[in-house]
Amino acid sequence: MVTKTTDLIHQISRLTWFFAILFVILSGLFMSLYGFIRWRFCVDGVLCTLLLHPIHF
């Protein structure tokens, strides 16, 4: 019984790590894509810059 619960805890922690890494990778991809779109289409667009500025970190 004890070994079963420890195995479950290990599996849960492994899943948590997997999802955390996946989230970091996806957010990094999203931010780079967002930055690229912003740079590509909003080089001198004042309205676009005003719209996207609050989202920018």
* pTM score above 0.85: no
Q: Give the residue from 3, 1, 23 showing the smallest Cα distance to 11.
A: 3
4-51: per-residue pLDDT in tens?
888 999 999 999 999 999 999 999 998 888 887 777 666 556 656 666
Q: How confident is the model at residue 2 (pLDDT cuts 50, 70, 90)?
A: low
The pLDDT value recorded for residue 21 is: 95
Q: How confident is the model at residue 57 (pLDDT cuts 50, 70, 90)?
A: very low
The pLDDT value recorded for residue 55 is: 55
DSSP one-letter code for 26: H
Distance CA 44, CA 38 (A): 10
The pLDDT value recorded for residue 13 is: 93
